[in-house]
Structure 1
């Protein structure tokens, strides 16, 4: 019962955070995207938003029914936990304070970069599900961040918009951007490598 409530709260935090972010984007002025529809659509190009949607969606499914043994769900669950952890770490180490936020933007920022990463990671540590990870799941989990990077760099080259400063190939050059991507990939893999033995250890008492 506690686990389901935790997952439900996590999903609710994500829902509120994304909703507030979309409203804030729709009412923003200036920037590369002129229309509210374009600004709202652009929100879904951020790794933060997509990662929150994955962790929120998998949390909602666990709140409804905790027993979900499929490979697809296990992969998405791992993606959500890893991606939201990377989101929180990278934001607080490298991105916090770089952009001036509106009041609504600050609320969304706090929910999506701080609260949901804490809830997402603690939810996995406390309630799992555990005993579900293996090399196959880990390798499949890499598809999401890699596809996002490819999409972001291709879209950035076409539009001139990059969602994060460390991906701005026009100003940094592709060599520096590649290095930045490798560093983030190493962080992602390191976390995945830590989660596998930890997952087995946490599953033992059950």
Structure 2
């Protein structure tokens, strides 16, 4: 019995490393494709290649995917990592990419018709990355790392992004998403939209904590 449990554990560990590695590679491919496509544009709000490429990294989607890529790469090397920093960024990436998937497919997906590399990057970063990340967390964890301190620290990510976006917007005359475009909506509506996104993030965080605790109890040895 002990040998069987050991072999099962090693099999799950190998599968986890493969899944996390695959997720990191998919995100990296999406990011590289997006940067290449953006650098080749000949029109848009930003007139220089450097300006267009730098602006890519102002999007919540891109920042969430970067966090996912880094944390998954670390977990692929050592699936049992349990440092506080990793737990915070793992949760921030998980929730950030979940919000990305939900908001994109319910609000943003029909705004632009994409082709070629742009469509590939769009699929990898908005659809495949969320699916791989959420599935990987549900199946492989790591488990037992979500507490209120971790939730509070992870919540700094969307808060800081919103502050950065609203402060940067007037200087560059650009807002990455329609629901935070102060020029079109005004500050009252934008702040309301930000509260909605923050509430979604918090609900997902509390749901992730409750589900994590349930999964810990189910997988704990008798």
How far apart are residue 96 of structure 1 and its match?
Answer: 0.3
- Counterpart of 2:164 (choices 143, 151, 167) is 151
Which residues of structure 2 form unaligned runs of 5+?
1-13
**Inter-partner Cα distance in structure 2 for 1:142 and 1:122:** 21
How far apart are residue 102 of structure 1 and its match?
Answer: 3.4
Query: How big is each residue's C-alpha offset from its partner over 1:87-140, in whole Å with a ceiling of 9 and x where there is no partner?
Result: 000000000020232311000000000000000001000000011110000001
**Inter-partner Cα distance in structure 1 for 2:163 and 2:44:** 23
**Inter-partner Cα distance in structure 2 for 1:57 and 1:203:** 24
**Inter-partner Cα distance in structure 1 for 2:184 and 2:42:** 24
State the 4+ residue runs in structure 1 displaced beyond 2 angstroms. none
Rg larger in 1 or in 2? 2
**Inter-partner Cα distance in structure 1 for 2:158 and 2:119:** 25
**Inter-partner Cα distance in structure 2 for 1:148 and 1:65:** 29
**Inter-partner Cα distance in structure 1 for 2:175 and 2:112:** 14
Match of 2:66 in 1: 53
Match of 1:15 in 2: 28
The two structures have a TM-score, normalised by structure 1, of 0.98
**Inter-partner Cα distance in structure 2 for 1:166 and 1:41:** 21
How far apart are residue 31 of structure 1 and its match?
Answer: 1.2
Match of 1:123 in 2: 136
- The answer to whether 1:33 aligns with 2:46 is yes
- The answer to whether 1:168 aligns with 2:181 is yes
Which residues of structure 1 form unaligned runs of 5+?
none
- The answer to whether 1:4 aligns with 2:28 is no
**Inter-partner Cα distance in structure 2 for 1:19 and 1:13:** 10
**Inter-partner Cα distance in structure 1 for 2:174 and 2:203:** 29
Match of 2:147 in 1: 134
**Inter-partner Cα distance in structure 2 for 1:98 and 1:34:** 22
Match of 2:98 in 1: 85
The two structures have a TM-score, normalised by structure 2, of 0.91
**SS of match in other structure, 1:131:** coil
How far apart are residue 190 of structure 1 and its match?
Answer: 0.4
